[in-house]
Chains A and B, each alone.
Chain A
Amino acid sequence: MSEAAAKKFMLVNRRAPYGTIYALESLEVVLIAAAFDQQIALAFMDDGVYQLRKGQKPKGIETKNFSPTFRALEDYDVDQLYAERESLSARGLSAEDLLVPVTVLSHEDLGALIEQQDVVLSF
């Protein structure tokens, strides 16, 4: 695929990691889109910020721990990660509680960033 054909994708992750399959499916879409050399940004808001919580140990619920995948995203040239400040603070979280570096944005700035995308997928 040529450089000119690359689109700006943003995946907006809004659900906690283990209660539903959404978070894992979103990550699958990220890896697929990255394989096709698309420009990908990930946004985390609402309970989606819990996907990035450090120290996830889902062994006891017989579920794969996919959180280390977020740390591998750099290898796929996916390095734009954003979290909404209001969602973090409502859950008592700050950037230091997250397993990867993210850019923390206000809801206004996140909204502006969403407007700059070619494709927006909400999970």
Chain B
Amino acid sequence: MLNIVNKSPLERSSLESCLRVARGGALLLIEDAVYAACRGHASARAIVDAMQRMKVYVLQPDLEARGVDGLVVDGVTAVDYGGFVDLVVEHSRTHSWL
């Protein structure tokens, strides 16, 4: 399962809900959710913990747009739009935590 989260974890609880329920597979952070993967963010700890059971990806153009592309925590993989498509193909099922 590819889990996709697109909201800031300090504004909405979707990342927290996803991490509470998702058993494994992959997590892709896009749009305002990319802040969660940045060093110093309140959610970075939860992302590091999540990496023990799932692969974590973040969308590079969304990082760059927000000026935080140099802050991604170790172990999180940045992907471009082509990489986003590859992840969708690779996982066959997606769950967008709107």
Contacts and interface: CB of A to CB of B under 8 A. Distances in A.
Contact of B21 (A22, A110, A121): A110
A68 interface: no
A84 B21 contact: yes
A94 interface: no
A14 B21 CA distance: 12
Interface in B33-86: none
Interface of B: 1, 13-14, 17, 20-25, 93-98
A122 B21 contact: no
A119 B91 CA distance: 12
Given A115-B1, A120-B1, A45 B97 contact: no
A112 interface: yes
A113 to B, nearest CB: 10
A110 B21 CA distance: 7
Nearest to B24: A115
A22 B13 CA distance: 16
B20 A118 contact: no
B93 A122 contact: no
11 contacts: A12-B95, A14-B97, A45-B21, A111-B21, A111-B22, A111-B23, A114-B1, A114-B23, A118-B93, A119-B93, A122-B96
Interface residues of A, number: 21
A94 to B, nearest CB: 20
Interface in A64-123: 84, 86, 107-108, 110-112, 114-115, 117-123
A46 interface: yes
Contacts of B22: 111, 114
A120 B24 CA distance: 15
A45 B93 contact: no
A108 B13 CA distance: 18
B79 to A, nearest CB: 21
Given A120-B1, A123-B98, A14 B93 contact: no
Contacts of B98: 22, 122-123
A110 B23 CA distance: 9
A68 to B, nearest CB: 26
